[in-house]
Structure 1
Amino acid sequence: MCFFDQHRFVCGDWKWGHFRQHCNREYRMGETCGMKLVMQTYPVGQKCKLCEKIDTKMRRRQAEVERISRWNREGSKFRASIEKSTDIIRLLDSEIYELGCERSRRLQGIGSAH
């Protein structure tokens, strides 16, 4: 049960930080016992990488939706562009869903730590 810093992101996710102190269970010099306990939690003023990826994909998706709306107002001459943007939205929806599932697994403690 060695002690490490913990970095907590605004989204609620976290990652291990620097090693701080050995426990009395570890006898080999320079090694940790493998069990991690939090010595100190440091707030990080940003979202984790997964949430940043989700936000980026959501912005891209919103831009495609706005394009389709604009093209629909301008008439039927952009049919191929609308279809392409619709395909992009479907792909982004799939990627956003997968990232959301990964984030949920991490927050439940099922996935591995950063």
Structure 2
Amino acid sequence: MCFYDQHQMSCGDYKWSHFRQHCSKEYRTGETCGMKLVMNTIQKDNKCKTCTKIDVKHGRLRKEEDRIERWYKEEQRGHQRGASIDASKETISKLWEEINDLQWERSQAQMQTR
């Protein structure tokens, strides 16, 4: 049960930081016992990497949805955009798969730390 600093992200995730102090259970010089206890918690304003990736994919998703909406309006005025709309719909379905995969990874990581 050695002591480390912990970085707490705004999304609720955390990561371990610098080693601070040995515990009384460790008898080997220069080694840690393997258990981690929090010495200091440092609050961070940014999100973890996984949450940032999810936010970026949501932004791309909104962009594709806006494109489709614009193209539907152009079709009503006589412009043909069927292939572009189909390609954007395919991109949207791939983005949703990637978002679901990232959310699953995040939930698995949270379950391992509890």
TM-score, L = length of structure 1: 0.92
Which whole-Å CA distance do the structure 1 matches of 2:85 and 2:28 have between them?
64
Residue number in structure 1 paired with 2:8: 8
Identity %: 53
Are residues 1:80 and 2:83 paired?
Answer: yes
Instruction: Give the ranges of 4+ consecutive aligned residues of structure 1 lying more than 2 Å apart after TM superposition.
Output: none
Count of equivalent residues: 111
Alignment RMSD: 1.4
Look up the SS of the partner of 2:29 in the other structure: coil
Which whole-Å CA distance do the structure 1 matches of 2:11 and 2:88 have between them?
30
Residue number in structure 1 paired with 2:96: 93
Look up the SS of the partner of 1:77 in the other structure: coil
Which whole-Å CA distance do the structure 1 matches of 2:112 and 2:23 have between them?
25
Unaligned segments of structure 2, at least 5 residues = none
Residue number in structure 2 paired with 1:105: 108
Between 1:4-13 and 1:71-80, the stretch displaced more is 71-80
Which whole-Å CA distance do the structure 2 matches of 1:36 and 1:65 have between them?
45
